Structure 1
Amino acid sequence: MDFFAAQDHARRQSRLLILWFALAVVLIIVVVHAGAALLLFPGEDGSVATSRLLDPAQFLATAAVVGGVILLASLYRIARLAAGGGEAVARTLGGRPLARATPDPRERRLLNIVDEMAVASGLPAPPVYVLDGEPGINAFAAGTRPQQAVVALTRGALEKLDRDELQGVVAHEFSHILNGDMRLNLRLIGLLHGILVLSLIGRMLLRGGGRGGKSRSPFALLGLLLVAVGHVGVLCGQLIKAAVSRQREFLADAAAVQFTRNPAGLAGALRRIAGYGANIGHPRAEEVSHMLFGASGHLSALFATHPPLAERIRRIDPRFLPDHPLPDHPLSATPPASTAAAAGPPTAETAAAFTAAIGQLQPEHLAQAQVRIARLDGALRQSLQEPSGAQAICLALLLDRDPGIRQRQLQKVAAAVDDPLALRTELEYATVAALDPGMRLPLIELALGALRELDRDARERFITLLDALAGTDGWLALGEYVLVRLLRDALQPRSPAPALAASPAELRRHTALLLSVIAIAGQHDAAATRAAYARSAAAAPLDALGPLLEAGEIDFPALDRAFAQLAATAPPFRRRLVYAMAEAAIEDGRLAPIEAELLRAACEALDCPAPLNID
């Protein structure tokens, strides 16, 4: 299943999930209505007040109150989770954010694996959390968008898994990020919370009825009914959650094996769970059970959110023997030599190949990412591990080659930040200017992990400074726009609420602007630019786009607005749009650095992660 099909499937599952929960809510309303008619409005002889039971107005009132409580509680919970992103989920379970400059070799190994996969898959390096108090082997990914995802692992996973096994677990979590599972998982939490609120209200009525004596006993009975109905509703929700989650786990396992080309790694991690367990002792672990790598606790097959462990292992490694002893593996701090050596020069690219690679975990991209990261010298990699160094490197990437303009930029840096950071930015310029242009993207992606350690105010100041540097010479160059756009998308992610649907005329204007920018960026003469635009316009999801825009007509704020509207379109539309973008960029089957950076920024804005592939 490709990325766009997976996203479309996740959307359909979300709609089906809401339908099943809606049916459960309707049944809850019917039961509560009948119980209220029996307990609160009995007939004169103690029989059921049939008139109340069959009264449409009474039923609508019950539906409004009960349905409203469930809906509002669910929306509130989903909104809170969306606002906090994956970090809120990780902190809820006692997760500790992992500092990029950690001296712990196990934590460094984990960060290296996450960085490699982020660069290879086209995702910003996600923050990594460790659940220090959990000795079981487990992990999860959480967030509302790929750019807001976090990856969390238990201390047991760090200590009991070797590098290959840890890589398999992280690849499994990255597949959940790319397949659209994270938003579905958060909605499951929210919907179950809405039903659980009924039980909480029921407990309140029980306590109030007990204090009020006989006159309040009907409300106590109603409270008992709400508690029972709430728990039954939660059980129904657990069944739905289990049915949705199990198949997604098989898909994530398969994607992880395809990505790493090392089935022994993931199978070994699952075998270790068979030996050591995956239990998470936090009291709120059940709430996120469907998000975990391994099943936590002991649930019946009916309510299990994960397939049987033995079945998962056998699908990966048919030779699995449950009683086979688990070997001890030495701690490996570097990627296997065979993997890094597999990366040769980038291959010729086509629009179809580029589109097919969107959101896919491909082993050749992982190998290329490992090679590019290994090419960075030790001092530069050390700088990328701390927030001040990462800021200095990103600021240095924006410094102009013209000494006069660069001096004015450095004056702006000195006026906005403290002296050490300003001096460090000037020193880093010589290093980044000497790098191959194809290393700009890996530098940005690797810097994001440390930049995300900055607090909200520091991020705001950093983005403001980037904007100021980008316009120092009086106009905003495309390369500057792309770099700032990539950093802003990762450090100031947009609201998960979709933009208002655009009309076909607006989508045509947005598409024409985007394809014009890409055609102009990748070609060196007017004829080639017109040919690239014509080819991409013919492949676009809408026809009659209009003529190619001239360079002087390019408006970057308008391009930002175009991204916001185009990102809200359906996956099939975005598939064709990405194909058209690639047609505009790929003239000779190869991507120049500026073309790759622009495609990466455009795909990231459209929530379509593009793997690194620069010639």
Structure 2
Amino acid sequence: MKRIGLFLLVNLLVLTTIIIVTSVLGVNRYVEGQGINYASLLVFAAVVGFSGALISLALSRWMAKQMMRVHVLDPRGNLTAQERRLVEMVHEMSRRAGLKVMPEVGIYQSPEVNAFATGPTRNRALVAVSTGLLGRMDQDAVEGVIAHEVAHIANGDMVTMTLVQGVINTFVVFLSRIIAHAIASTVRSEVAHVVHIVAIIVFQILFSILGSIAVLAFSRHREYRADGGGAELAGKEKMIRALTALKKNVELVDTEQTALQTMKISGGKPRGALARLFSSHPDLDDRIRRLQQM
């Protein structure tokens, strides 16, 4: 549960805020008489659901910088030799991937061996690596990690994840209101409105957690694709070297720090069925095995 991504958390908070505001202001006019206008409710659910996902996407790069305290490197600034190599590596991989606008490149202080990519579009992306990764990995492994993250950007994974989240949000809003209306209809009219609002919030949070299972399953699928894209950009051996290095280090560092897990290269090794269900990344052994079979 600690590995659910920042994107999912921000989406849930934004969605809940929108619901509270619309419920208090009474702008969600989908109840007619004693019943529900399902067409109006579906339109309302889609507008609210995709608004929550799109706002989360728009905030993703800014939130990542703030939460991870990312130091963005200025390509024209006074950089160290290590920072200069990192910027040049990201830009070279980006050109190979066909990106027209180079992503921002940043470093964040953390002992974990990891990196992430985020941003609302391919032209407004960020690739950030941890100091732990730069200190523990050799050049070939770092190149494999960067290739993986650039592949996320080139594949449009941030936008794709947002669309999937928008669909899930729509069903969350739709179903939570149907159940809340059914519950509110069983209580006295004086408290029905309050019960309706409380039930909406409770069921929306519950369904959002259940919906995140589908989103995270999709995230795991995209990780395999980013591994393949990274192998095309940097070479299969470097991509395998990167994942092997991550596997060796993942148990040696504290990985409990909150991060944009849905776009990080490593989610560690999920332990237990529930952990695997809520993991944004497949098992590293399986990812290495798939690359070897390419």
Same fold (TM over 0.5): yes
Distance 2:39 2:252 in 1: 47
Equivalent residues of 1:82, 1:144 under 8 A apart: yes
Structure 2 counterpart of 1:111, one-letter code: V
| Among 121, 126, 133, the residue aligned to 2:97 | 121
| Among 250, 261, 268, the residue aligned to 1:289 | 261
- The SS at the match of 1:238 is helix
- The SS at the match of 1:275 is coil
Structure 1 counterpart of 2:223, one-letter code: E
Q: After superposition, where does 1:157-556 map in structure 2 within 5 Å?
A: 157-188=133-164, 217-261=191-235, 262-263=237-238, 264-276=240-252, 279=255, 281-282=257-258, 285=259, 288-295=260-267, 300-316=275-291
- The SS at the match of 2:251 is helix
Seen in structure 2, the aligned counterparts of structure 1 residues 76 and 311 have a Cα distance that, compared at 3 Å, is same
Distance 2:152 2:286 in 1: 19
Residues 220-260 of structure 1 deviation map (CA, whole Å, 9 limit, x = unaligned): 54344324311331123212112212222112112212332
Residues 263-318 of structure 1 deviation map (CA, whole Å, 9 limit, x = unaligned): 44323333244333583623xx4xx4322212279662223222112211333359
Matched residue, 2:113? 137
Structure 2 counterpart of 1:313, one-letter code: I
Distance 2:146 2:229 in 1: 11
Deviation at 1:177, TM superposition (A): 1.9
Structure 1 counterpart of 2:284, one-letter code: L
Equivalent residues of 2:220, 2:281 under 8 A apart: yes
Greater Cα offset, 138-147 or 246-255: 138-147
- The SS at the match of 1:135 is coil
Seen in structure 2, the aligned counterparts of structure 1 residues 62 and 126 have a Cα distance that, compared at 3 Å, is same
Equivalent residues of 2:141, 2:245 under 8 A apart: yes
Matched residue, 1:342? none
Distance 2:140 2:105 in 1: 18
Matched residue, 1:71? 46
Seen in structure 2, the aligned counterparts of structure 1 residues 83 and 56 have a Cα distance that, compared at 3 Å, is closer
Equivalent residues of 1:137, 1:276 under 8 A apart: no
Deviation at 1:71, TM superposition (A): 3.1
Distance 1:107 1:155 in 2: 11
Q: Structure 2 length normalisation: TM-score?
A: 0.67
Distance 2:140 2:131 in 1: 17
Equivalent residues of 1:136, 1:154 under 8 A apart: yes
Residues 515-552 of structure 1 deviation map (CA, whole Å, 9 limit, x = unaligned): xxxxxxxxxxxxxxxxxxxxxxxxxxxxxxxxxxxxxx
Deviation at 1:161, TM superposition (A): 2.1
Distance 2:141 2:192 in 1: 58
Structure 2 counterpart of 1:238, one-letter code: S
| Among 146, 167, 183, the residue aligned to 2:122 | 146
Matched residue, 1:585? none
Structure 1 counterpart of 2:129, one-letter code: L
Higher relative contact order (CA 8 A, sep 6+): 2
- RMSD of the TM alignment (CA)? 3.8
Distance 1:117 1:185 in 2: 22
Greater Cα offset, 151-160 or 214-223: 214-223
Equivalent residues of 1:172, 1:252 under 8 A apart: yes
Equivalent residues of 2:247, 2:268 under 8 A apart: no
Seen in structure 2, the aligned counterparts of structure 1 residues 215 and 80 have a Cα distance that, compared at 3 Å, is closer
Structure 1 counterpart of 2:108, one-letter code: L
Structure 2 counterpart of 1:245, one-letter code: S
Could you tell me which runs of 5 or more consecutive residues in structure 2 were left unpaired when the two chains were aligned: 1-30, 178-187
Residues 451-483 of structure 1 deviation map (CA, whole Å, 9 limit, x = unaligned): xxxxxxxxxxxxxxxxxxxxxxxxxxxxxxxxx
Q: Structure 1 length normalisation: TM-score?
A: 0.35
Equivalent residues of 2:50, 2:169 under 8 A apart: no
- Percent of residue pairs bearing the same amino acid type: 27
Matched residue, 2:79? 103
Equivalent residues of 1:90, 1:152 under 8 A apart: no
Structure 2 counterpart of 1:131, one-letter code: Y
Seen in structure 2, the aligned counterparts of structure 1 residues 253 and 290 have a Cα distance that, compared at 3 Å, is same
Q: After superposition, where does 1:562-573 map in structure 2 within 5 Å?
A: none
Structure 2 counterpart of 1:295, one-letter code: G
Seen in structure 2, the aligned counterparts of structure 1 residues 125 and 300 have a Cα distance that, compared at 3 Å, is same
- The structure having more radius of gyration, on CA atoms, is 1
Residues 406-460 of structure 1 deviation map (CA, whole Å, 9 limit, x = unaligned): xxxxxxxxxxxxxxxxxxxxxxxxxxxxxxxxxxxxxxxxxxxxxxxxxxxxxxx
Deviation at 1:89, TM superposition (A): 4.5
Matched residue, 1:12? none
Count of aligned pairs: 246
Deviation at 1:174, TM superposition (A): 1.5
Structure 1 counterpart of 2:106, one-letter code: Y
Distance 1:151 1:190 in 2: 24
Deviation at 1:219, TM superposition (A): 4.5
Equivalent residues of 2:58, 2:119 under 8 A apart: no
Residues 86-134 of structure 1 deviation map (CA, whole Å, 9 limit, x = unaligned): 63353353333222235344433321211221233332321113333x3
Distance 1:193 1:154 in 2: 32
- The SS at the match of 1:305 is coil
Matched residue, 2:6? none
Structure 1 counterpart of 2:65, one-letter code: R
